[in-house]
Amino acid sequence: MRDPFDAPVDLINPDHNGGNKLSRTGAVSAGDYGLQNGPKSFAPNSDTLVRHQVQVASLHKDLVLEDPNTRIMDPETKELYFRSQSQGDEILLLRKKIAEASLKELRLLGEKHILERRLTDLRMAVDEKQEEAISGALQQLNQKKTHLEDNMRLANELKVEEEELYFFTSSLLSMLAEYNIRPPQINASIITTVTKRLYQQMHLKLRSLNDNLGDMTQPGNIYNPNLQQVTLSRNEPSPSYNLDSNRNTLQQYAQGPSDRHMDQMDTGGTTPSNYFEGDRRVDGDSQLYQPDGDALPGIEGFQIAGEPRPGFQLTACGFPTNGTTLCNFQWVRHLENGTRQSIEGATMYDYVVTADDVGTFLAVDCTPMDDNGRQGDLVTEFANNGNKITCDPEMQSHIDAYISNGRAEFEVFVLAYSPEEWELATLVLTRPNYQIKFKKTGEAIIDEKYSQSLQMKIPNGRTTQFVLVTAGATLPFNTQGISEPNNEDYDVRYQL
């Protein structure tokens, strides 16, 4: 039997160059495929590997199974036949690779779609979180706005309460100053204690004096020169001060026609009264006038006595008529724009001009009343002949000098560490800040810049005390015995 491997060798190699050449037809050297049998290095790609596999498989097939029809073919045709078979196998292998790649691509596309859906879900979740964060921030802003509005409302209410407290305290201090009572420290406890003590003393003395008044309140009572006149002194507490009815003095009105001029009032210690007791004489004879219900209470010759300058006292006075027994006073400021400002606590017949009155038209309103509670016509009188209140030239020159120099110093008494001992100190005012330091040691009590909360408050009435109000603290001052008249405290407030 013929060896099938001999025929191809003879056909392909007609020159009879050796049987090994036939087996290497179309074959590639091992070195070219990187089989590490030679020095040449080669990095095969996918196409090269595919061709190599196809050629090896085709060659092996040719060697194992040879079509009987190929035996009659000439070598060239046989070579083309084997090459076509090899290429067909290569095409089949490539199609298989393409199918596998398509499946892999489909799998990757599915994974891509899954990842895109996950990414979309993540974006939606992020958007929801952002919307929640924005809504939470807006809610916090609304809460902060509400809190700020509440704080502003509470601050305004607190300011109103502090103003009312100041007016009430200044009124009490003014009343206590009328009786030469000056609390060592301005706080609620001490003011309440001294006021209660004064009220008890006045109540006891008033009850004892009511027994001595006797027939003074009877309509038919006529002036008795032997009857002792009841007056109220500023230097001694008196039971005639009535806290309930605003009648701060009780004085017998029993003077003759020649003694009815208000300029004869005792300015050294006797207090003129808002309350007039008993019957009234209307002329020089002995006839008495009784209210008949037709004529309303009134006051004639109403005027303001005193020098209208800061630190000086003004006194409202006049002649009561038609059964007038009580006069209600109210000091007011009239501004240039026509507005009217009532001065809190200034409801006495006398008033001390302050720096707040400078540049305004100061006036006093008087409402006469009788024992039956009837009110007469309101009477208004302007101070300084209806002109603005101005500083005296000396004070104005001092103020101008202070402003020009940018510095002012005042000696004052201050309650710093001890609530009962006034210590001499120096109040220094400059453009950027103010300073308070002890006179002896030079220790600074306060050294701060000006702020919106800084206030200098002076109670109404005859007093040399004033209070410096800062943020969360109050510091009482006193200028008694430092200057005469009491102008320096108003200089200090005018500078502030």
Percent of the chain at pLDDT exceeding 90: 21
Contact 435, 148 (CB under 8 A): no
Q: How far is CA 381 from the centre of its chain?
A: 41
Pick the closest to residue 350 from 232, 460, 240 (CA basis): 460
Higher per-residue pLDDT: 293 or 432: 432
3-state secondary structure of 406: coil
Q: What is the DSSP letter of 215?
A: G
pLDDT of residue 191: 82
Question: Tell me, what amino acid is at 297?
Answer: P
**Residue of 59 and 393 predicted with greater confidence:** 393
Residues 85-94, mean pLDDT to the nearest whole number: 92
405 versus 71: the higher-pLDDT residue is 405
Work out the mean pLDDT of the chain and round it to a whole number.
71
Say if residue 189's pLDDT is above 90: no
Query: Are 290 and 324 a contacting pair, CB within 8 Å?
Result: no
Higher pLDDT, 38 or 105: 105
Percentage with pLDDT > 70 across the chain: 64
- What is the model's pLDDT at position 278? 41
For 233-343, where are the E strands, in sequence order?
251-252, 276-277, 280-281, 288-289, 298-305, 313-321, 326-334, 340-342
Domain map (residue ranges) of the chain: 1-151, 179-282, 291-390, 395-495
Mean pLDDT of 219-223: 36
Ranking 162-176, 262-276, 303-317 by mean pLDDT, the lowest is 262-276
pLDDT, position 423: 85
pLDDT at 460 over 80: no
Q: Tokens 């020169």 label which residue?
A: 225
Q: What is the pLDDT of residues 123-151, one digit of tens each?
A: 999 999 999 999 999 999 999 999 999 99
What is the per-residue pLDDT for 463?
60
| pLDDT (mean) for 438-452 | 84
- CA dist list (Å): 230 to 29, 348, 391: 148, 19, 38
pLDDT at 447 over 80: yes
pLDDT at 94: 93
The dotted CATH code for 291-390 is 2.60.40.2700
List beta partners, residue 270.
Answer: 233
pLDDT in the model for residue 477 = 82
Is a pLDDT exceeding 60 seen at residue 7? no
Give 395-495's CATH code, choosing from 3.40.50.720, 2.30.29.140, 3.40.50.2020, 2.40.50.100: 2.30.29.140
Alpha-carbon span 216 to 280, nearest angstrom: 13
| pLDDT tens sequence across 351-406 | 988 888 889 999 999 999 888 878 888 999 999 999 999 888 888 888 888 888 88
Mean pLDDT of 232-251: 33
CB 410 within 8 A of CB 436: no
398-433 pLDDT per residue, tens: 888 888 888 888 888 888 777 677 888 888 888 888
Q: How many CA atoms lie within 13 A of 402 on its CB side?
A: 19
User: What is the predicted pLDDT for the residue at 462?
Assistant: 52
- Return the pLDDT at 234: 35
The alpha-helical segments, DSSP class H, found in 35-74 are: 46-64
Pairing of strands 288-289, 298-305: unpaired
Is residue 57 very low, low, confident or very high in pLDDT (cuts 50, 70, 90)? low
